[in-house]
Amino acid sequence: MAGEYAFVMKDLRKVVPPKREILRGIWLSFFHGAKIGVLGANGAGKSSLLRIMAGVDRDFLGAGAGSVLAGLFGAFPVDASPPRTGIVSETGGRTQLSSLFAAAIVLAAGDKARELRKNPAWITGIEHRIETPVLGARDLTTSPSTEASAKAATGGDTGSIEVAEIYAPFTHQQLILTEAIGLPSSTKVNPSGGTLAANPMFCAGLERIGFAAQHIFSRSAGRVLAHATSGPVLQQNLVAVLEGN
């Protein structure tokens, strides 16, 4: 029964303008305490699904019921043969395990998040936009998709962002992204060193969320931003805003 589950989806659909269906026939249910992951190709709808689960996006067809406040309570690197306790040692947000090949972000909702961590990093906004990667089709010195994602995720308020972890694999992209997001000079950008310090394949964007969340966990910041991109010309851009209690 639905009351037994932490979250339930029934035949969920998501349609974006003009009439593009990005999610169709999603049936999902899981119990409190369950650990779940969402896998899929670029543009498959992973971010859209998570935004619905977090309660950020309520514009969908079908049924979705459960806790609408989702919290990020841990960012744990994953080892090929992890300890039985499921805990790995971290230094400055980076693992000491030499065989690291992936990173994981764990989500929990409402009271469960508070049970697992006293000060969860609450996801208060998240948006993912895509634009063409075709050379010559757009101005590569700007990033409209990042600007749109940031506006939606922050609600237009970037002045209170204390820390921003930006996925900029090339140095000039940090300038483009900082301007597109609208970060003030007071925001600390990439205190972790960013992807120029470490750029693990397929999870560098996810790491940005984890590194940003660390500032909420340590209470060194109350409102932070994380950005992830894909492609050599910033054609996919996700922006997430995390806040403390």
- Interval 157-190: pLDDT, tens: 999 999 999 999 899 999 999 999 999 999 999 9
Burial profile 53-66: b = 16 or more Cβ within 10 angstroms, e = fewer: bbebbeebebebeb
CB 243 within 8 A of CB 223: yes
pTM value surpassing 0.85: no
- Interval 13-45: pLDDT, tens: 888 888 888 888 888 777 766 666 777 776 777
Q: Which CATH architecture has domain 121-243?
A: 3-Layer(aba) Sandwich (3.40)
Closest CA to 146 of 171, 176, 185, 190: 176
pLDDT band at 155 (very low <50, low <70, confident <90, very high): very high
- Segments making up each domain of the chain, as ranges: 2-68, 71-116, 121-243
- Interval 218-240: pLDDT, tens: 999 999 999 999 888 999 999 99
Q: What average pLDDT does the segment 73-94 reach?
A: 32
- Which secondary structure element, helix H or strand E, spans residue 216, and what is its range? helix 204-217
Query: Which residue(s) pair with 76 in the sheet?
Result: 104
